[in-house]
Amino acid sequence: LKRLTAANLIINVEKTHFAQSCVNILGWTIGNNGSLIPDQRKLTNIHSWPTPKTGRQVMSFLGFANYFRNSLPMFSRLTAPLDRLRSLNSLKEIWNETHEYSFRNIKDALVNAPVIHIPDLKYPFYVATDASAYGIGGVVYQVIDQDIKYNAFAARSLSPTERRYHTNKRELLAIVFMFERYNKWLYNRHFTLTTDHKALIYIKKQVVPNAAMLVWFETIFEYSFDIVHCPGIKNIIPDALSRLFPDDNKLEGGNNVNNVAIYNIRGKEKEKRKPTFKEKSKSYETQTYAVTSATPSSSKPLLHRALQFEDYITPPPEERKDIILKAHLLGHYGIKAIEQTIHGDNLHWTNLRQDIQDVISKCHECKMFNIAKTGYHPPRSILPDGPLDHWVMDLGTFNITSTSGNNFLLVMVDLFSRFTILKAIPDKQALTIAKQFVDIFCTFGWPKVIASDNGKEFTATIVTELINNSGIDKRVSNPFNPLGNSVNEAFVGIAKKTIVKQLQGRKEDWDLYVPATQYAMNLKYSRLHKSRPYTVIFNKVPNDMKDYSHIKPTLRSDAVDSKAIENRLKYATEVVIPALAKRIKETQDVDNAYFMKTNKIVHTPFPLHSEVMIKNVNKENKTDPHYEGPFYISGMTTNGSYILVDKQNNLLSIDVPTSHLKLIALPSNKSAESIDDQHYEIQA
């Protein structure tokens, strides 16, 4: 009272209140500690505010809310959907769920506005910034006794030019906005800058600032601050308010139907005031879509994709591996996915893809589970000298014991003629197989070469001794490699399919149909040489099933012309067989050319000491790794398979074909250009 009297101020006792804990003035409530919140009496009927019907009503509502914007976080983001409606006369055709959502959230934000405290200069400041497609903003706060005290909120809308800024530049603009706005508190004080944009944590570590930073370089770095990453400014504001803000991806972009409709109506309302509306209506339709297409589409031109890296942040070299590893461990994805994740954080540096490749190549889990499409060495088809010189063999089964006690089907194919022999056998013991060999070879003659897979029935001692004593060249295909015995694999399938079609439900009698199936397969024209295998072997046309009782024999027993038989055999040997060999070679050349055209061919063998993984052929379930290893190439066999050793230099017991290998790394003295690009990862 003495101070008022000294100033010659007269007070009205009836209008004076003493010992109050807070004061309501000009729509605000000021607490005894200097705290500031909107006057709740002014907000009593805020929830009953009617939905705007015109742009003028939107302006009235936003004007009311704008009076309290200093106590509302990210105010421009809340009001962005309604800002574009202010100049429209009628909102009947425009108002939708997005606008209703924004309208309701603004009212809730006013009711739940946080308390604004006077800064206590004894404690450090924290500045949190945020940027969206439509606005920027931030909050200045202090942490006192583990309690957040909000000092100020600020936000503003972006201009049309600023909306086209890259994400990095918009985030930097938000930082500059908050620094300049609260310079009186921040200048010459060390504070902490909190950002939800991960790329910005490296702005103080860049050796060469990017183009976006150069614009505000002096403004930003005249302040002393530490920068930390916080996943979203919503983690700083109260929970009741954080739920009012939609995800960023709901605000980004502008190619939506509502924008188109707004521009349409806005343009038409302007034109209706002019006499040339009908003449210019078409041009406004063009302008409508030109406006909405200003937002970049996902398919950017090459120049835009190149220029976008200009605004990206470059992390220091010592932190790049950790960045890649963290993105990779998110799901063990490939190069493209990791690159997109890093670019999503607005980070980029030279040779990014090569660095990602280096990290992935050392990931043991990826080596074991990533499926790789592998190549083959150029095909080398076998051309035997003549019929019955080279046999291939394999076993098939129906998993049914026949009434005669047979369980397996022995299939033998002559590689030259494709003549097939089928034998139903009770088991696959080596002795059983040896007996069949003796029976067949004593009937058709002993061959020069026989080939089979690595099954025990074909490699047992008794079979091996029989073959060695006969002078036969025994060849074995690589385990789990169907291409090594592809002819017999195919003929086993043909034989089983033919037998099954004849059973008509009598599965236990499958062995009764074996002889007929053999005969049918040998009468079928072979694609290899365009002739019947039966005709090639026996040098005669098979007899038809008809009555031959009235037909006289061609050669009578009392006058056999031995010279004619010799000439016939000579013609077959000197003319027919070479002609068939030529035709077989032509067919094989065509097949090989097609194979090389439709498959990845490895013309250059893998260098010695290359690191590889081998296909896991013993997988028991889908969770088992696709590959095993690593192994290292120690040598190469004459048939193109590889000899491998493990890390302890122990020799692998089997040779591995090219199609079972996945190249991991070349030896240090080899470059990627020195070998065919025969492997690539399949991204899921």
Q: What is the DSSP string of 560-622?
A: --HHHHHHHHHHIIIIIHHHHHHHHHHHHHHHHHHHHHHS-B--SPPPTT-EEEEE-TT--ST
> Phi and psi of 108, rounded to 5°?
-65, -35
Task: Give the angle 324-301-162 at the CA atoms, nearest 5°.
Answer: 80
Per-residue pLDDT band for 241 (boundaries 50, 70, 90) equals very low
Residue 235 has pLDDT above 70, yes or no: no
Q: What is the pLDDT of residue 485?
A: 67
Residue type, 662: K
Residue 315 has pLDDT above 90, yes or no: no
Q: What is the DSSP string of 176-214?
A: HHHHHHTHHHHTTSEEEEEES-GGGGGTTT-SS--HHHH
Q: What is the pLDDT of residue 232?
A: 60
Tens-digit pLDDT profile for residues 323-366: 888 888 777 777 888 888 888 777 887 778 888 888 877 777 77
Residue 481 has pLDDT above 70, yes or no: no
118 versus 33: the higher-pLDDT residue is: 118
Hey, which residues does 147 pair with through a beta bridge?
144
> Positive or negative CA dihedral for 183, 188, 189, 194?
positive
Q: What is the pLDDT of residue 13?
A: 80
Residue 398 has pLDDT above 60, yes or no: yes
Per-residue pLDDT band for 260 (boundaries 50, 70, 90) equals very low
Tens-digit pLDDT profile for residues 445-469: 999 988 888 788 888 888 888 888 8
Residue 287 has pLDDT above 60, yes or no: no
The chain-wide mean pLDDT, for the chain, equals 77
Per-residue pLDDT band for 478 (boundaries 50, 70, 90) equals low
Q: What is the pLDDT of residue 519?
A: 92
> Phi and psi of 18, rounded to 5°?
-115, 155
Residue 678 has pLDDT above 80, yes or no: no
Hey, which residues does 24 pair with through a beta bridge?
29
Residue 125 has pLDDT above 90, yes or no: yes
**Among 85-99, 451-465, 596-610, 632-646, the least confident range:** 596-610
Distance CA 124, CA 388 (A): 95
408 versus 552: the higher-pLDDT residue is: 408
Q: Would you call 361 helix, strand, or coil by DSSP?
A: helix
Tell if the pTM clears 0.75, that is, is over it: no
Q: What is the pLDDT of residue 302?
A: 43
